[in-house]
Structure 1
Amino acid sequence: MLILGIETSCDETGVALYDTEQGLLGEALHSQVDLHALYGGVVPELASRDHIRRLVPLAREALSQAGRGLGDVDLIAFTQGPGLAGALLVGASVAAGLGLALGKPVTGIHHLEGHLLSPLLAEPRPEFPFIALLVSGGHTQLMRVDGVGRYRLLGETVDDAAGEAFDKTASLLGLGYPGGPALARLAEGGNSKRYELPRPKIHSGDLDFSFSGLKTAVLTKVRQHSPLDETARADLAASFQAAVVDVLVAKCLQALDAEGLQRLVVAGGVGANTSLRSQLASATAARGGQVFFPPARLCTDNGAMIAFAAALKAPMGSPHEPGFPVFPRWDLAAAASR
């Protein structure tokens, strides 16, 4: 089965072709970072318009890479939610139009399910069951995964997501958009022990997260030591990153212990952070466990994860409503039960 995957949930336009026998055959991705940099964040209307411009050319590029034509596609999958409503509608309407024109089935995929299953695109592939850390600009969640469509939420952020805290802290340090990667680069040359910052909820006894207070603590340091020289900015960035990573690592280990599992999967944009990868790898190895990451290019939003998720779900059946409904807010557990 050849599946065309379309991702337009926010500020990346992604298209990919996945064959259930041959694997990933072609993928094309366009990031809107330069478009939104002037505004310091994603502008929903501009994001939607750019998806309209980019989607068809990217689909042609992915098909060309694969050496296939639209007529070869057996199933069209698109991100149905969560995300920006207008951006989601672009992908949904194109998918529905292609399905109608080609007489092919169309299926909607949960954006987080795409991220959750994306590490299975790499080798070695984790076996079920495992603990999954979904960590991005909009989500920070710990899930128990017993199989495709079998997910149980263990904990999540009660305020800012980890990636959101990275972006907001980067703004406080005068870094450009997107802030997370810029802060991580700055932190590489900093002293993570110079500034004492809190590790919110690290000893809370539950698996929830909270990063809003950490961002406020950074703001306090900035005001106390303003103006910051380059060394101080790097040290504060490193201290912030260390605090976030410490909390994420501690909660992941706690989840593994609570569920009696040894396999951890990390997905989402923050999963590309090298410090987080290194410390999670060391911490899980020290307790005899394993951690699995998707390739760095698949940590951001992309069409490959949508096509792949659709391939895994196809044998289970995944009905699609008439038209092209989208769900800007959509609980993963509820989506899995549909």
Structure 2
Amino acid sequence: MTIVMGIETSCDETGVGFVENGKLLGDALSSSMAEHVRFGGVVPEIAARAHVSALVPTVRQALNNADLSLADVGAVAVTAGPGLATALHVGVAAAKAYALALDVPLYAVHHLAGHAAADTLEHGPLPPRCVVLIVSGGHTSLLLVEDLVRIPIVHLSDTLDDAAGEAFDKVARVLGLPYPGGPSIDRAARSGDPAAVAFPRPLTGPGDDALGFSFSGLKTAVARYVERGPAAGVSVEDIAASFQESVADVLTLKALRACRAMEVDTLVIVGGVAANSRIRALAQQRCDEAGVELRVPPMRLCTDNGAMIAAIGDLLVQAGAAPSPERFPATPTIPLTDAQLY
């Protein structure tokens, strides 16, 4: 068996994890989120500097948590894209250094494939065919996955504009809720009425893309509602709950529609927004009604982490994939078709 070290630095989290044969041995995470709060979003240069400071200590902490030493590592996997350019460069440089020093193979992997692989650490191998809904700050996509590392991934749809997580951040700012917006809106919505405001359900009309997503208009609808002044008795919590309900409704509606269209009976929801309590609850309700198995990683594996990158590296090692070339680049923008980028 080969122990794979995974390194994740695509945004504001420095993640390191160790996986062997589908089992998470240990991981560690260092976040620079607190440094970005006053800016209302991630500042790439601040994130990159935080990765430089945190990476080696995070590797040491993950090794300690896994009760391993570097000598136990048999392969290294790293997020090579997509993500913030300066942040990616830190992880890629570190991964190349570790792989060279340890004389082990190195795998450049796609960040979103890592999110899909995160579920395998909790629920075991993915079924032969499944629909994966990726919902995060920068991505909202429906994918048909047959074999995560052997067969090209089919994009069924992507968002036309704002991703769901981006919409959460922007709406939170409009409502005066703290960054990051996803957790803030989720907390506020728990004491709000999801039927208080009839916000639109984007791209759900008869002539719209059946599987497509668009959240920019919904974000604007919330902003216009707030600008006009909420109706009497409607609170910030009500607005948050109504917005969240719209997002959850659209995401789960289209995810189940994709399952029917692709004739699959398993839906996997991954990414940071998959931690949202209403999305998880509504997805479970609708999957139960449709006879579809729902798989969602535990909360801590939804957001960016090193364990998910180690998981995709572990799958590549098990599949006998050739290591990536020594001079592969960090690639800030690249679609997900294959788990291994180079």
Give the TM-score category using the shorter length. over 0.9
The 5-angstrom pairing of residues 179-328 of structure 1 reads 179-203=181-205, 204-225=208-229, 232-314=235-317, 315-328=319-332
CA contact 1:155–1:206 (8 Å) conserved in 2: no
Identical columns (%): 45
Is the contact made by 2:110 and 2:338 (CA closer than 8 Å) also made in structure 1?
no
Check conservation: 2:139, 2:159, Cα contact below 8 A.
yes
Q: Cα RMSD (Å) of the superposition?
A: 1.7
1:130 maps onto 2:134 in alignment? no
- 1:18 and 1:308 in contact (8 A); partners too: yes
- Matching residue of 1:162: 164
Distance 2:261 2:328 in 1: 40
Aligned to 1:100: 100
- Counterpart-to-counterpart distance in 2, 1:83 and 1:205: 27
Deviation at 1:124, TM superposition (A): 6.0
What is the one-letter code of the residue matched to 2:241?
A
1:18 and 1:184 map into 2 onto residues whose CA distance is 31
Alignment correspondent of 2:155:
153
Partner letter of residue 334 of structure 2? W
Q: How many residues align structurally? A: 336
The CA deviation at 1:230 is 9.3
1:322-337 to 2 correspondences below 5 Å: 322-333=326-337
Question: Structure 1 residues 306 and 175 mapped into 2: Cα distance closer, same or farther (>3 Å)?
Answer: same
Structure 2: tracts of 5 or more residues without a match:
none
Aligned AA (2:41):
G
- One-letter amino acid matched to 1:39: F
Q: Is the 8 A contact 2:119 2:297 kept in 1?
A: yes
Partners of 2:133 and 2:300 lie apart in 1 by: 17
5+ residue gaps, structure 1: none
TM-score (norm 2): 0.94
* TM norm structure 1: 0.96
| Partner deviation per Cα, 1:269-293 (whole Å, 9 max, x = no partner) | 0001111111111101111111100
- Is contact 1:126-1:292 (8 Å) kept? no
Deviation of 1:213 after TM superposition, in Å, equals: 0.2
Q: Distance in 2 between matches of 1:261 and 1:8?
A: 33
Measured at CA, do residues 48 and 324 of structure 1 come closer, stay the same or move farther in structure 2, by a change above 3 Å?
A: farther
Return 312-321 or 56-65, whichever deviates more: 312-321
Distance in 2 of aligned mates of 1:208 and 1:261: 19
Q: CA deviation at 1:100?
A: 1.5
What SS class does the counterpart of residue 269 from structure 2 fall into? Answer: strand
